[in-house]
Structure formats: structure tokens, C-alpha cells
Structure 1
Amino acid sequence: MVRFQFLPTRHGARIAEILLDTPGTLNAQNLAMVREIRTQLELWRDDASVVAVLMRGVGEKAFCAGGDIKALYYAMTEPGRITEADDFFAEEYALCRELHRYPKPVLAWGNGVVMGGGWGLLAGASHRVVTEISVLAMPEIGIGLFPDVGASDWLGRLKLNVGRMLFLTASRLNAADALAAGAADWALPATSFEVLLQGLDELPWTGHGQTDAAMLSQLLEALSSALPCPLPPAQWEPVQDLVAELVAGDDLLQITRRIAACQTDNVWITQAQKQMATGSPNSIVLSWTLAQRAQGMDYDAVVAMETLAARHSVRHGDFSEGVRARLIDRDNQPRWQDATVEEALARGVTRWFDAV
């Protein structure tokens, strides 16, 4: 479920709070939750008393781990329910698009797990905060999907092409790396949330989006200086130049072979190699293709492209098999349609872009 509440401020303005409240599934979203959030955002857009939006997850473990994948599995596999999966993806992507363009400041408290659709919410926020326990990832190749919620676009905007490494290998960024890569704007201690709320209460909100966004940035800058976050040791940043070399160029087959052949004792890279080796080759090829096509596209076109790819994925791809293997039967032995990236490339990608 998702809950909404208002945080009054001493100057009379209100901050609207979105609380993702499914801690048992790491605050994963379902279709009903997405629809409720979209409805509230539309109402708050025209409410002059609401000056900003705060998003957070209930509990100490996660902001949001993405979509309710088990619910999507049953929608894909039970007769007559496939359109539920279509609707979820279309509306989830629309929600992220709306966040990107929201006229009022949106602060995402990205504490804990931030994955899949959860990263989509964080990426759509104007003010992105992580804590020392934040973990960011787009692990979709492991379940036969692709990094979506606009990630075809915004992963490519991360520094030194690290986004490529993330979507090809399902690698993770910790808080230190998220800041270094440009995936987050500020880091605050996980215990500082009440201090943040006090600061939000004291701001002289004006009701003008740009002015309020600038004031919020100043507050977060001041808090991050006054309350240094105990960041974990960076994992990607120490090997960022090597990673940039591994993912350089426009030949996907060459890149995946280069990653697989890399001789290193760096744990972050060796974990990436393992995850790429067990991920869906179809998903790797599709993820690459979407990212390549997204270059130069406007955001609406990216959303439309991903929506179409999702419709194909729930019908013809490796998605249902990946979820079965990882989350339903838990045998961790998915039977992918293609055994290698080379085979998936040979089969081609045009089918993913035909009307469904």
C-alpha cells in the first residue's frame, strides 16, 4: 500500500509526503499504488498550499525495490490477465515521466535498497538523497527484463559510462559511488531524517517552484556539511578508468567479451562478471539496443519505446522464465531463449519494436 500525509510548516505551507508502505517486499510497487501516487501528484500540482513533495519508504531497509514482480508473474501466466502487466508498466513509466517534469520540488529520501522502479522514482526526483546504507541497481537482466522506467536514457547520463556497466552486468552502486557517478545529489546519515524534517519545517517556502527548489538545495547542502554521512568505501570509483575501458565502443559483443575476459581480483568487477554470465542474453541485447536508440530521443519517445518493449517482454521474452527461476520456483536455473549474447544478436532485435 501507499500512504499520503501532509507535513505542515511554520510559515503555513504544506509538504505532501508519499510513504511507500510494503516493507515486507522492500516497498515494491503494484499497479494500485502507482495509480494512487499519480492521482495525488495531479491534485497537489494545482494545490497552492502544497509547495513540495517528499517520497520515502517505510522501514529501515528500503526506499523501493521496484515493482511487485510476483504479481506481474501471475498476470503474465494466468489466462486473461496479461493486460494487467501492460497497464503496470505503462503507468509506472508515466509516473516517472511526471516526476521528471513536476513543477514543484520533489525530494526522494533514498535510504536502503533503491532498485528497478525504485531507482526510477529517485531519478525522477529533483532532489535525490542517499544514506550510508543505500544500494542502487538496475538488476533486470537477471530476471529477463531490461532496465526501464526511463533508464534507457538516464543510465547513459551517469559519469564515465558506468551506466553501461550497470545495465550489462546488474552491478550495484553504494552511496559513495552513487554520488561520484551523479546518481545522487546529497548523502545524509540514515539517522538524520528528523533533522531533515525540522529543516523543511523552518524553510520560508514561497510557492514558486524554482525559488523553493533553490532553497531546498541550500538546506540539503548545509545539512550534508553539518552532518557528514559515514559513507562506505567506494567500489566503482577506484576502478572507474578500467570500467570505462571495458565498456568503450559501439560493439556489444566485443564489450561483453572484454568484460568476461578481464583478469582482476577486484570484487566489484568479478561480481559483475558472474551476474552478466548468468543474466539473460536477450535482455542484455535488448538493454543495449534501447540505450543506443535513446541517445538523442526526447523523454516522451524513450517512454514510448520502453512501453512497447515491455509489452513484448511480458509476452515473448525471457521475463516470465526469469521470474519463475529466481522468485517462484527458486531453482536459479532459468532456461533463456538464447544461450549467448552472440546468439541473441544473431536473432535480431527488430521484433521488440513491432506493434503488439
Structure 2
Amino acid sequence: MEERVMEAHVEEVLFEERKSASGPAVGVITLNVEKTLNSLTLNMVKLMLVKLREWRERSDIACVFIHGSGQKALCAGGDVHALYKSSVEQPSGPCEYAEAFFEQEYRVDYLLHKFDKPVIVWGHGIVMGGGMGVFAAGSYRVVTEKTRLAMPEITIGLYPDVGGSYFLNRMPCHTGLFLALTGASFNAADARYLGLAEGFVEHQYAGEVLNALTDVAWSTGVADNHERVFDLMATYVARSAAAMPVGNVEAAAAEIEQLCAGEDDLAVIDNIIAAQSDNPWIQKASATLASGSPLSARLIAEQLRRCKGLSLKAAFQAEVLLSTAIIRQPEFAEGVRALLIDKDKSPAWQHTAPAAVPQTLIEQHFSAPWDQNPLHDL
């Protein structure tokens, strides 16, 4: 029985070692749940954590290549249905599955960020939520003509986690805050502007790039191997330059800066909701925030401010605390119910507006529910 279960789990994420001409192998991870747009489950992140730890220590693994199965997504996020089930079955917590998932997922993301060997992440198609966590952690992040990135947690009563508290704070001006509050999607050109991608490569070259990685004369020096990856990818970046789509974020940067100026969270949130813009992308972003969870809006702004300047480790420790607090409260379950379970798209949020959220409730979400942070040993 155990064997059959393990086989089912292994199918969700595939691991392959492709021998290179120079000896060391390229470790390939394929997120392999095409029907759910490669959404991450607890089993998947557990398996990835074990394999990545193994590959990190092995001298015969030169680099890691991560991609998604199918043509639609690298990864559309975490398996929200499973998180919902955990939240409603254990109200007030501990929500065992969900809390274990967050801890293991953040460990994977942190390990990828700190991986000394090159990690190439092929961000084709949808890259959202948990997929953004894996993508942002790569040392060479590829965007394609079909890449669509977003952190749309505002729509389900959550917040941009998976390291978002760290990398959103490092985007130009206030673009990270704007994207977090509005869940606005952005493309390859935007990712390059935001410092979230190293290269734009047309998706038609994916197989060719993977094959080319096995032809690299890998060095025993990690820094040399990072250079080899950049040199290899430069060829494909040059070939693909003409196919780069037109972005939205840079063109809207001045407007975003005006909307997000100031230290008053409520004023910023209200500015975005009330935005009178001629830019359709801004209009859509504004509407998403207006219909999203008022509690999430407040928590997003608070979390980003609290995490500004923190180390990556401290940011993940802050995220596992906030995620635990949220999953034990009803707002997230209601957001998922409305969007994905009943699909009525009419969530009964706890508060009518961001201004109606009590400051005491916000503070409660940042109070640790345990004696020791689950990620204390990162």
C-alpha cells in the first residue's frame, strides 16, 4: 500500500538527472499536475525539499532546472482546495495540513534562494502565488512571451507570501506594494523591469536550452557555473529579443507612485480604490482591490512595512506566523468558498471596508500562536 501511495506522490513532481558531456548532471524538476496548473501540494513540497537537499550536497549535480508540465503554467499556486479543507475542518486551528504546507513550502523557497549552484526556473505561462515563490527564488529566472505573473491573494483573503514580503519590498518605488494590494498580473517585460527575471526567452527554445545545459563544460567552481549559465542563456535571449511583449508596470510607474505615496495604509488603499485612471491596467487593478478582502488589504500593507529591510530568513519567519494566523480565521475560507468552491464570486467579507477593520484585529494576526517559530532553524 505504502509503495502505491509513494508512486502517486512521485507523479505529482518528477525528478530527473541528465548527464552532461563533462560529467556532472543537470537536475531537472518537473511540476507535474497539469490539470491543476501544477499547483503545489504538501506531498510535492516535501518531495522537492528532500531532493533539493540531496542535490545541494552532491558534487555530481552541476545545476538545477525547474519547469512545469504542459503549456499553460509553471505553477498557479498552492492547492487552495486542500488549504480550504484544512481551514474549515479545524476552525481556530491548529490547521494541521495547511500549517505543515506553509512550513514545508517556505523551506523549499528559502533553500532555492540560498542554493549555491545555479537554479534555472522556466517561468512559462501562469506563475502565481506558490509558483511565484519557486520562480522568484531562482538564480536565473526565465520569462517567455506567455508568462503571466501575479500575487492575487487579495481575492481570497490571504496575502502575498512565499517570500513576497522580501522580494516585493525590493521592487522599484512602490510597485511591490501596488502589485500586492491589487493582485494585478504582469508579463515578461514587467518582470524584467521589476528585477524579477534575468532573461526573456521564447518558449519554443525550452527543450533546446535544456539539451544545451547538458553540453556545458561544467566547472568544479560554483561561481564559474553561474557564469556558464548566463553565457549560455545570452544566446537565446538575443534570439528572442524581438518577441518581448509590451509591459504595463513601467508605463504606469508615475501613477503608481502617486497612488501609493505616504505612510498611511488606509490612505494608500483608498487612493487605489478611488483611482480615476485612463489606463485600463490600473482600472482593473483598482477594481480587484475594491472587491477583495478589506482585512487582507490591511494585513498586506502592514506585513510589507513590518518586513521592510528584514533578511530573507526573518521575512519567511514572519510569513509563517501571519499565514498561520490567517488560516485559523474565517476570512480565507470565505474567500476560497466564493471564488473556487461555490463560485458565486460574492464573498461575505467580515468587514465592509478597510477602514472598518479594527486595529486590534490586525495586531492579533502578528501575535505568535506558539512558543517557537516553526522556521526558527532555517
Give the TM-score of the pair, scaled to structure 1.
0.97
With structure 2 as the length reference, what TM-score do the two structures score?
A: 0.91
Please give the per-residue CA displacement for 1:83-136, whole angstroms capped at 9, x wherever unaligned. 111000111111111111011110000000000010010111111001000011
Secondary structure of 1:142 counterpart:
helix
Q: What letter matches 2:279 in structure 1?
A: N
Gap runs ≥5 in structure 1: none
* Contact persistence 1:142–1:275 (CA under 8 A): yes
Question: Does the 8 A contact of 2:266 with 2:298 survive in 1?
Answer: no
Residue in 2 that maps onto 1:139: 152
Partner of 1:297: 310
Contact 1:281 1:338 in 2 (8 A): yes
Q: CA offsets, 1:177-215, max 9 Å, x none? A: 111121111010011112212321221111322110111
Counterpart Cα distance in 2 of 1:87 and 1:7: 31
Alignment correspondent of 1:148? 161
The amino acid of 1:10's aligned partner reads A
Tell me, which stretches of 5 or more residues in structure 2 are unaligned?
1-11, 370-378
Alignment of 1:47-86 (within 5 A): 47-79=58-90, 82-86=95-99
What residue number does 2:50 align with?
Answer: 39
Q: 1:100 aligns with which of 104, 110, 113?
A: 113
Partner of 1:109: 122
Cα distance in 1, alignment partners of residues 56 and 243 from structure 2: 36
Correspondent of 1:352 among 365, 368, 375: 365
Cα distance between partner residues in 2 of 1:263 and 1:213: 45
Task: Tell me, yes or no, if the aligned pair for 2:123 and 2:147 is still in contact at 8 Å.
Answer: yes
Q: Is the 8 A contact 2:269 2:297 kept in 1?
A: no
User: Post-superposition shift, 1:326?
Assistant: 0.4
Q: How much has 1:346 moved relative to structure 2? A: 4.2
Percentage identity across paired residues of the two chains: 36
* Distance in 2 (alpha carbons) for counterparts of 1:111 and 1:345: 41
CA-CA distance at 1:77 after TM superposition? 1.4
1:24 to 12, 35, 55: 35
2:20 matched to 1:12? no
Rounded to whole Å, the distance in 1 between the matches of 2:245 and 2:284 is 18
Code of the residue aligned with 2:135 in structure 1: it is L
Matching residue's letter, 1:91: Q
Read off the aligned partner of 2:77 and give its amino acid letter. G
Match of 1:327 among 340, 356, 360: 340
Structure 1 residue 166: deviation in Å? 0.5
Amino acid at match of 1:137: A
**Distance in structure 2 (CA, Å) of the matches to 1:185 and 1:112:** 17
User: Any conservation in 2 of the 1:285–1:345 contact (CA below 8 Å)?
Assistant: no
Is 1:128 the counterpart of 2:141? The answer is yes
